[in-house]
Amino acid sequence: MRNATAEGELLHVASSGSRTVEAEPDLDHMGFLCDTWADFLLERSEDLTRLLTEIATRDSAVAELDSAIATLRGGRAEMRQFEGTTGGRVCTFLPSNNVLYSYVLFGLMPGLWSDEVLIRPSARTREAVFALHGILAGLPHNPVTMADVSQREFVALCREARTVVFTGRYENLHAIRESIPSAVPILGFGSGPNPVVAGPFADVAEVVRETTSSRLFNGGQDCLCPDLLIAHSSIYPELRERLAHAFAEVPRAPRERPGLVIPPMFYNDAFEAASAFIETHREKVFSGGTVDERNLRLEPTVVEFPCLSETHPPELFSPVICLTSYHEATEVRAWLTSETETERGMYVSVYGEPGLPDPVLGTSVNCGPRTSFQAEDGNRPFGGYGRRASARWQAGEVAARPLLLSREAGPHPAADAVGTPLVAR
């Protein structure tokens, strides 16, 4: 099945038919592989960081490598909770960012309990992913095959899969679902606005520091970056000024420079979308707003909106954040439970707002006074309860909930303590 060169570059993938899912898991061997793979990544850390810095900032590349190693180190404990059988094929549509971490989450980890994992990279980072696979070809018992095929051909391979992992646009997920038997589970990993709520008792300096570091992480190009900051009216003026100042202080520098920096944007389509957003709301720009089309640079930008209930920013995937205010916690709760936000609820960070103590607000997982980056853990379910953020699609139904592949592979892939029922199409 793995038709690769010695350097790990795939030449072709051909369908070999579905595999029987019947073997009992060897947990000791799974743990051994996780530890071995983690050691390999650590040994090749310089090569991996150098490669990742071609598409990401150095700090985000280092953080990604750390997360990948930590996930593998936690693999032994995670697999102790595995209740399924081994075998079958997993097909993964790899995202265009966090390619190493995604390779681990959606390639190596499911490879512990499947016969084979086929990965099709995003066209935007195809060369980098194949170069990454070339480095990781040295992994002992690497279960991943890179599928150098068209999307149509890859979807055909998905029809025989045990599980399909889709990381991409929600609209594209539905197009693919129509071509895959409904019995095949599709695990959809999307995105959400990941808002930050700064309440009347919030430490403004802390909120500004953590919002700046999370919004501008990798130049703003990550699905965990917050798109919206909702500040209580009592602290709003101070927070607005300090946030604008903090954004302006972040140096404009190449990706290779250590520290929080604003490099040229890597993704052309994200640059165009963010530029269009700024132009559409030019009169609402409080700070920043400069667009350099020639060099794909966006100045870190704060865009003010006067009414929370009418503010539903798209995924900005850029150094741009929306800012609005509120008076009562009930306004934030109403926003989080609105139709638009329950569809895409993922994470929400809450600082100094005692009126929002719930572990889940609407469909968003409450991180408390932490960023979504601090809350995310590769060995725990990812996402929220919005169907656009994370959901399992199977047999004409959707179960929107945080997802962990090893849990979803079990015989009873139930939701965690705060579950949601299956909802018809």
Domain boundaries, the chain: 3-190+389-424, 196-375
pLDDT at 418 over 90: no
Between CA 197 and CA 171 the distance in angstroms is: 29
Residue-wise pLDDT for 272-322, tens only, equals 999 999 999 999 999 999 999 999 999 999 999 999 999 999 999 999 999
Rounded to whole angstroms, how far apart are CA atoms 164 and 406? 13
**Average pLDDT of the residues in 131-140:** 96
| Choices 3.40.605.10, 2.60.40.10, 3.90.226.10, 1.50.10.100: CATH for 3-190+389-424 | 3.40.605.10
Please write the tens of the pLDDT for every residue from 70-126. 999 999 999 999 988 899 999 999 999 999 999 999 999 999 999 999 999 999 999
Q: Global pTM?
A: 0.92
Residue 68 has a pLDDT of 98
Residue 358 contacts residue 386 (beta carbons within 8 Å): no
| Closest-CA residue to 36 (of 123, 138, 154, 182) | 138
- How far are the Cα atoms of 84, 109, 319 from residue 405, in angstroms, in the given order? 11, 8, 31
Q: Can you name the CATH fold of 196-375?
A: Aldehyde Dehydrogenase; Chain A, domain 2 (3.40.309)
Helix, strand, coil percentages in the chain from 3-state DSSP, rounded to 5: 35, 20, 45
- 357-400 pLDDT, tens digit per residue, is 999 999 999 999 999 999 999 999 999 999 999 999 999 999 99
Q: Give CA–CA dist 81/60, Å, rounded.
A: 30
- Over residues 163-185, mean pLDDT: 93
Contacts for 32 with CB less than 8 Å, ≥ 6 apart: none
* Helix or strand (DSSP H, E) at 300: none
Mean pLDDT of the chain: 92
